[in-house]
A and B are shown apart, each in its own frame.
Chain A
Amino acid sequence: MHLVVCIKQILDPEIPPSDFRLDSAGRGPAEGIAPQVISIFDENALEVALQVREAAGEGRITAISIGAESAVDALRKALSMRVDDAYLIRQADFPALDTFGTARILAAALGKLPPADLLLCGRESGDWYGGQVPAFLAAQLDWPYTALVAAIRKTGSEWNLRRQSDDGWETIACSAPAVVSVTNDAQNLPRIPKVRDNMLAFRKTITVWTAADLGLTSESGCGPNTRLKTERFYIPTVSRQCQMISGDSVVQRAEELVEKLAGLRVI
């Protein structure tokens, strides 16, 4: 059994608002003082993979990430959770990256790994919340895709994917290979690594792949015809204004209030 989990290192979503900064181009958040973490749904995907392996009693788990050098920390964390292998794809080789490109690169990386049974992704990244990569990846690979899975069980050669629907649970049976996106659930809270595993993780090698290693060019991250463009990225300003309602009688004041609220389109 071979499970591959795609993880992304993101800026800590819990960064205090007063610490949040824009990058110099004003097209995204600035890194720096805020910590970087594994995107939360990707951690759920890692946990699901680990649980599948534990239930089966065998199997390998590979974690891959496209990211900056700092993303080795995210992969190291995955290793400390007892993932077997970790690969970092150098994001610097792909100066512009969109969701198509991400799927293209991950698909190419998958081709270099031993055949995978399942490819797991978080349901969306915790920074941009696009939620597109797993679907695009399935399309690239021409594999079936099931979204928002909470738990996975293997019975014989069949994979049972458990999803929550509005009125209960739904179990989808599928065969390998397949792409699955994982959502958070009480049963797949990421585990805390044992300290011993934490230390062992530091001794493992994390293989770094360049664009050339994957047979790709810098263009692969984001073709010239990309339809993704950031128009504006800004920090909303919160301001408070206080207006006193005047008027001689209660009725007049009430009418004025209704008028003002209607003007603000809140009623």
Chain B
Amino acid sequence: MTPTRQVYFNITGVWLMYVFFALTLLVFGYGVYRRWRLWQIGRPVVRLDRLGERLRLLFKQAPGHEKLLKRYSGTGFAHLLIFWGFVFLFLGTVVVFIHEDLHIHIMQGALYLYFESLALNISGALCIAGVTVALIQRSIRRAPRLKPDKPDDTIILVSILVILVTGFIIQGLRIHLTHDPWAAWSPVGRAVGMVFAHFLSEPALRELHRATWWFHLIVVFSFIGWIPYSKLLHILTAPASILTQDLGPRGALPVVDIEKEDAPLGVSRLQDFTWKDLLDLDACTECGRCEVNCPAFLTDKPLSPKWLILNLRESLHAESGNGRGANADPKISPAELAQSPLVGAVLKEETLWSCTSCGACVEQCPVAVEHVSKIVGMRRSLVMERAEFPDDLQNMVRSLEARGHPYPGVSASRIDWMKGLAVIQLADQPGAEFEVLLWVGCAGALNQRSQSVTRAVAELFTKAGVKFAVLGREERCTGDPARRIGHEFLFQTLAQQNISTLDRYKVRKIVTSCPHCFNTIKNEYPQFGGQYEVVHHSEFLEELVRQGRLKPSATGSAKVTFHDPCYLGRYNQVYDAPRAVLDSVPGVERTEPDWNRRNSLCCGGGGGFSFMEEKQGTRMNQNRAKQLLDTGANTIAVGCPFCMIMLEDGTKTVAPDAQVRVRDIAEVLNEATE
């Protein structure tokens, strides 16, 4: 006898199921269409190119739940169980469909025993375990990150539980009533059946089986129909968002065509976002991973990356009457909706000015929502269209416009730091031969503390016999702070000036100790034709040590912890080089802060914050300084001039009596090198 089972045992009127299913598909299709139509109001952006690469990314991130398991791995694992449980159960249903409706009898033999019975039993059971963990997490532990925690969220979990439990009941009753010879392959169903058989008579079991079958069916169909109207939509939008994510370097913000006459400069209305931006809004599952690593949210600034997305989503859904945002007028048409302003109505200006652009939200997001480019997009509109932005940043902009550096009132010149050092300035020696160009950066040249880092780098280069040159007075700000605050016009002006200077001197390889300069020249200058090999000083110094050109020797012992700069780590995945440089120094004992590498917490210096007073909440730099001091290290090593300034200030305030020094990795290495 071939192992299989009867599909519609004990059921009559199966045609009704097809009617219900057709209705379900209609409701489902209409819901998806309604969302689809809203995404269409966005601007075009190419996100379906390089399909092979995109599919590889999707299969790397989605099935393994890469990001869900990296943080809150318990709940992440619960979701993994639910996800795979559903995938298997869905495939099981497909098998039934092929077997029964297409009359291709595959549900028999080994497939029936190993897959349709045993595998599905195990997945169903694991799925129940996953849902139970999720329900405990949501209703008993009530993690704050899961807010707003709408009733829907619990209803979804309960319905999944109901679907799975009723499924096992149906199976168990069938096994018992049919004296199924293959019952051993469905251990969970069989056990459930035995329990019911213990209490009820056979006719009652038959009645119960039929009733549960229809109930199960109605819950399943309602669930499917509900998908596009609830958070369940992420079953579709999450993979879509991951598939259409930005494949360019993460550190590069999108270019605005400033010359285009009638194009809006930045985002002031929903229609100024790209369709991917709008898809993101419907992909968000409110898991809150973005806000637990957000330096602004952690210090009570009026910004939560999650609520930013949710508020925008509510405003997008206003069209359908689902929105509870400021634009919640059910009669508003997509055309009208597209025109309504965002900043002021949906979001506060302070929210946008609370972001350090550290990228932690983007790094944490399991569904590839791009928060930072949205924030910068809206900043662009405030800065370029409305010219309304914080006074401190206006002063920075004036200084960048007039002097090419962001430090108003600074009394140093770009070449003061090199007094007493033999450094080639290309303006003075245009024909000089050089191996690398040392890009000093505004902080490195003009900030007193950072000048000593620049000197340390130059001294190390000399010790290693590296032939290097600098642009000196001809160097301008790379434009990073201008671009991050949304002043694309000023950024492009500065970028073009620098590219023309670099090209004039035929510069090929650039080393810089500033991760912001590093990121901008490496990832953003190519947008304007500037192609150079750019390395951070940590990478370059590591190479010099590895080649034996620098030989650090012991200078005593130090307990050192390294703080990952956002624009080096998260944006450019340089995590190991600075650690290797520190480890090369004998006597250095290195410890890691709890939040490190991709989970590093921003010092509070990016996105214009180095030039702006922090007016709300507690201080971001003190928050990070505490984490670093908790390691017990007596040296906090950094690789970024902004981090240096922020963390020196932070440690002094948090622990005024602690004997802790904040030092650049180059300073640590230089001290140990003859």
B344 at the interface (CB under 8 A from A): no
Are A16 and B410 in contact, CB atoms less than 8 angstroms apart? yes
Known pairs A195-B265, A199-B259; list 7 more (Cβ under 8 Å): A14-B402, A16-B410, A18-B415, A192-B389, A194-B385, A195-B487, A196-B265
Are A14 and B489 in contact, CB atoms less than 8 angstroms apart? no
Are B416 and A14 in contact, CB atoms less than 8 angstroms apart? no
A85 at the interface (CB under 8 A from B): no
With A and B bound together, what is the CA distance between A14 and B416 in angstroms?
A: 15
Given known pairs A14-B409, A195-B258, the reply for A35 and B416 (CB within 8 Å) is no
A186 to chain B, nearest CB (A): 10
Are A192 and B397 in contact, CB atoms less than 8 angstroms apart? yes
Interface residue ranges of B400-439 to A (CB < 8 Å) = 402-404, 408-413, 415-416
With A and B bound together, what is the CA distance between A37 and B402 in angstroms?
A: 7
Which of the residues A14, A18, A192 comes within 8 Å of B387, measured between beta carbons? Answer: A192
Given known pairs A33-B473, A195-B265, A198-B489, the reply for A14 and B403 (CB within 8 Å) is yes
Which of the residues A16, A189, A191, A194 comes within 8 Å of B384, measured between beta carbons? Answer: A194
Given known pairs A191-B387, A195-B265, A195-B385, the reply for A35 and B403 (CB within 8 Å) is yes
B71 at the interface (CB under 8 A from A): no
Across the interface, which residues of A come within 8 angstroms of B142, CB to CB? none
Given known pairs A192-B387, A195-B265, A195-B385, the reply for A14 and B398 (CB within 8 Å) is no
B494 to chain A, nearest CB (A): 13
Across the interface, which residues of B come within 8 angstroms of A198, CB to CB? 489
Are B385 and A196 in contact, CB atoms less than 8 angstroms apart? yes
Across the interface, which residues of A come within 8 angstroms of B416, CB to CB? 16, 18
Across the interface, which residues of B come within 8 angstroms of A196, CB to CB? 265, 384-385
Are A14 and B394 in contact, CB atoms less than 8 angstroms apart? no
B105 at the interface (CB under 8 A from A): no
- Tell me the nearest residue of chain A to B259, going by C-beta: A199
With A and B bound together, what is the CA distance between A199 and B387 in angstroms?
A: 14
- Tell me the nearest residue of chain A to B416, going by C-beta: A18
B427 to chain A, nearest CB (A): 9
Across the interface, which residues of A come within 8 angstroms of B409, CB to CB? 14
A117 at the interface (CB under 8 A from B): no
Which of the residues B265, B394, B404, B411 comes within 8 Å of A17, measured between beta carbons? Answer: B411
A245 to chain B, nearest CB (A): 31
Interface residue ranges of A1-33 to B (CB < 8 Å) = 12, 14, 16-19, 33
B479 to chain A, nearest CB (A): 14
Are A192 and B394 in contact, CB atoms less than 8 angstroms apart? yes
A-B contact pairs, 29 of them (CB 8 A): A12-B403, A14-B399, A14-B403, A14-B409, A16-B412, A17-B411, A18-B412, A18-B413, A18-B416, A19-B473, A33-B473, A35-B403, A37-B402, A189-B391, A192-B387, A192-B389, A192-B394, A192-B397, A192-B398, A194-B386, A195-B258, A195-B383, A195-B384, A195-B385, A195-B487, A195-B489, A196-B384, A198-B489, A199-B259
With A and B bound together, what is the CA distance between A198 and B402 in angstroms?
A: 14
With A and B bound together, what is the CA distance between A195 and B488 in angstroms?
A: 9
A193 at the interface (CB under 8 A from B): yes
- Tell me the nearest residue of chain B to A33, going by C-beta: B473
With A and B bound together, what is the CA distance between A14 and B399 in angstroms?
A: 10
- Complex A-B, nearest 5 residue pairs according to Cβ-Cβ distance, in ascending order: A16-B413, A195-B384, A195-B489, A19-B413, A194-B387
Interface residue ranges of B229-276 to A (CB < 8 Å) = 258-259, 265
B396 to chain A, nearest CB (A): 11
A111 to chain B, nearest CB (A): 33
Across the interface, which residues of A come within 8 angstroms of B394, CB to CB? 192
Across the interface, which residues of A come within 8 angstroms of B259, CB to CB? 199
Give the total of A residues in contact with B, Cβ under 8 Å.
18
With A and B bound together, what is the CA distance between A19 and B413 in angstroms?
A: 7
With A and B bound together, what is the CA distance between A60 and B280 in angstroms?
A: 47
- Tell me the nearest residue of chain B to A34, going by C-beta: B403
B416 to chain A, nearest CB (A): 6
Scoring B258, B265, B387, B415 by chain A CB atoms within 10 A of each residue's CB, the highest score goes to: B387
Across the interface, which residues of A come within 8 angstroms of B391, CB to CB? 189
Are A12 and B402 in contact, CB atoms less than 8 angstroms apart? yes
Scoring A35, A192, A194, A198 by chain B CB atoms within 10 A of each residue's CB, the highest score goes to: A192
A30 to chain B, nearest CB (A): 14
- Tell me the nearest residue of chain B to A38, going by C-beta: B402
With A and B bound together, what is the CA distance between A114 and B612 in angstroms?
A: 44
Interface residue ranges of A159-214 to B (CB < 8 Å) = 189, 191-196, 198-199
With A and B bound together, what is the CA distance between A19 and B473 in angstroms?
A: 10
With A and B bound together, what is the CA distance between A35 and B402 in angstroms?
A: 6
With A and B bound together, what is the CA distance between A179 and B410 in angstroms?
A: 35
Across the interface, which residues of A come within 8 angstroms of B487, CB to CB? 195
- Tell me the nearest residue of chain B to A20, going by C-beta: B413
Across the interface, which residues of A come within 8 angstroms of B473, CB to CB? 19, 33
Interface residue ranges of B368-403 to A (CB < 8 Å) = 383-387, 389, 391, 394, 397-399, 402-403
- Tell me the nearest residue of chain A to B409, going by C-beta: A14
With A and B bound together, what is the CA distance between A13 and B653 in angstroms?
A: 34
With A and B bound together, what is the CA distance between A193 and B409 in angstroms?
A: 21
A198 to chain B, nearest CB (A): 7
With A and B bound together, what is the CA distance between A198 and B397 in angstroms?
A: 14
Are A193 and B403 in contact, CB atoms less than 8 angstroms apart? no
With A and B bound together, what is the CA distance between A199 and B490 in angstroms?
A: 12
Across the interface, which residues of A come within 8 angstroms of B385, CB to CB? 194-196
B606 to chain A, nearest CB (A): 22
Across the interface, which residues of A come within 8 angstroms of B384, CB to CB? 194-196
With A and B bound together, what is the CA distance between A118 and B445 in angstroms?
A: 45
A132 to chain B, nearest CB (A): 26
Q: Mark B161-177, 1 if CB is under 8 A from A, else 0.
A: 00000000000000000
- Tell me the nearest residue of chain B to A19, going by C-beta: B413
- Tell me the nearest residue of chain A to B394, going by C-beta: A192
